[in-house]
Amino acid sequence: MQPSISALPMVVPMDKPIPAFYCCYLLRSQNRRACYIGSTPSPARRLRQHNGDSKGGAKKTSMQGRRPWEMTCIVAGFPSHFAALQFEWAWQNTHMTRHIDRHLRDARIEDLQRRGKKGNASPSKRRSRPPLSMEARLKNLHYLLGVKSFERWPLHLRFFAPDVFGLWDKYTAKLTPTLRKTITIMLTPAELPIAATQASTEDQTSKIPTVIRAIAVAYEDCKPYVEKSRSLLDGGRAQSCGVCRKRLDTSTSLSLVCPLETCRTVSHMACLSNKFLAEEGDRNALIPIQGTCPGCRSPLKWTTLVKELSLRIRGKQEIEAMFKPKRRKQANSVSEHEMTEAQDLGEDEELEDDWMQEVDDEDDELLSFEDGLGDKINDTR
């Protein structure tokens, strides 16, 4: 009987592995003072869609005069598609999201009502999403990264636009509370997209920056890790837990493998979770963020360990595709590759204004899931 995952990061579908990649992003129009927040499993593909170079993209980004769009930053590390949508909607609607304290949310609503009265707007329009400056969007992002709902997610922030990174430092330097140290913030400057108008049409084509195209969005980076786990766990050799030193039966117990090539440490999931939580010193936490390997003493991220585990026990198709011999490229390989990529990664979604009701419905299911998750982990302590 195949074991089930009981301590993966929050909101992971139980029949699928943790996604190879998922992020929220902030676009900036190079022609007008406009921004757009979205989410995607493939930033390069999504940017091509927003700029009209391939099919898809949100209606708001296709408005005349706004293209080309520049991807200024991404927030990555989401444990599921739904988790990214939660964060995306909260980032877009900080005046309405329940992830922000009520008194702060009410202050935003009062501000919206004042705007509505000044503009003689009808009551139905006073709760609409306000136009936000870059400063407001960056401050909202900083706040969301620190709220309780997201504070233990393995998120990291990556900037591609140096000037926006400078604004982030300027606007958030004195904000409280400060972000936890486990959130990595980095700048990898991207060359600006080069827009060129085709001679025969009015359509614009844009160059996707190299650093964005180089983002690993598939499981290929996990291949050496999966190969190592297979050799350790499928060889029939007896294993002992690196934490409790007791026998580890991989057919009945969830096991985590150190990702370092030279380390052969294998641990019970519950044992390693308890060890990491003890190192963090947070008694209220259920799921750890990071810790040290009991064998090689190297710092490890919990999400790295459970991502490989979820792929190992829930990603049969993904692993088969990973180890499948690659075919030679044919003349029409580019179009075939794009079709395959779209099928594998799925369609990106544009959140509508009524998505809040769907969040309310899903929150009840999420709370039940988290309660059950906490009970399972507490039973192992």
Tokens of 158: 């990556």
Q: Is residue 157 over pLDDT 80?
A: yes
Relative orientation angle of helices 162-172 and 134-144, to the nearest 10 degrees: 70
The mean pLDDT of 171-195, rounded to a whole number, is 85
Entry field: residues in the chain = 381
- The pLDDT of residue 245 is 96
- The pLDDT of residue 191 is 84
Q: CB neighbours of 263 closer than 8 A, spacing ≥ 6?
A: 293, 295, 296, 298
Q: Is residue 63 over pLDDT 80?
A: yes
Cβ neighbours, 10 Å, residue 295 = 16
Tens-place pLDDT, residues 260-287: 999 999 999 999 999 999 999 988 888 9
Tens-place pLDDT, residues 239-264: 899 999 999 988 888 999 999 999 99
Q: Which domains can be identified in the chain, with CATH numbers? A: 23-107+132-192+208-217 (no CATH), 221-322 (3.30.40.10)
Which one, of 335, 54, 67, lies nearest residue 197 by Cα?
A: 67
**353 vs 290 pLDDT, higher one:** 290
Task: Tell me 342's DSSP state.
Answer: H
Cβ atoms 77, 303 nearer than 8 A: yes
| Percent of residues in the chain assigned helix, strand, coil, to nearest 5 | 40, 15, 45
Instruction: Give the pTM.
Output: 0.78
- The pLDDT of residue 95 is 78
% of the chain exceeding 70 in pLDDT? 71
**61 vs 271 pLDDT, higher one:** 271
pLDDT averaged over the chain? Answer: 79
Q: Is residue 200 over pLDDT 70?
A: no
Which one, of 150, 127, 21, lies nearest residue 81 by Cα?
A: 21
- The pLDDT of residue 108 is 61
- The pLDDT of residue 343 is 39
What sign results for the dihedral spanned by CA atoms 298, 19, 28, 194? positive
Tens-place pLDDT, residues 117-135: 554 444 444 445 555 789 8
Tens-place pLDDT, residues 298-330: 999 999 999 999 999 999 999 999 888 877 655
Tens-place pLDDT, residues 323-364: 888 776 554 444 434 434 443 444 566 665 444 334 334 444
Tens-place pLDDT, residues 81-119: 999 999 999 999 887 888 877 777 777 667 656 655 554
Burial 199-233 (b: 16+ CB within 10 A, else e): eeeeeebbebbebbeeeebbbeebeebbebbeebb
- The pLDDT of residue 24 is 98
Distance of CA 156 to CAs 22, 25, 141, 150, 185, Å? 11, 12, 12, 11, 6
Tokens of 62: 């296709």
Q: How many helices (H) and strands (E) does the chain have?
A: 12, 13
The mean pLDDT of 17-38, rounded to a whole number, is 92
CA distance 121 to 78: 38
Look at residue 210 and give its three-state secondary structure: helix
The residue written with tokens 């995952």 in the block is 5
- The pLDDT of residue 199 is 36
**Hey, what amino acid is at 211?**
V
Q: How confident is the model at residue 3 (pLDDT cuts 50, 70, 90)?
A: very low
- The pLDDT of residue 117 is 55
- The pLDDT of residue 8 is 43
- The pLDDT of residue 334 is 42
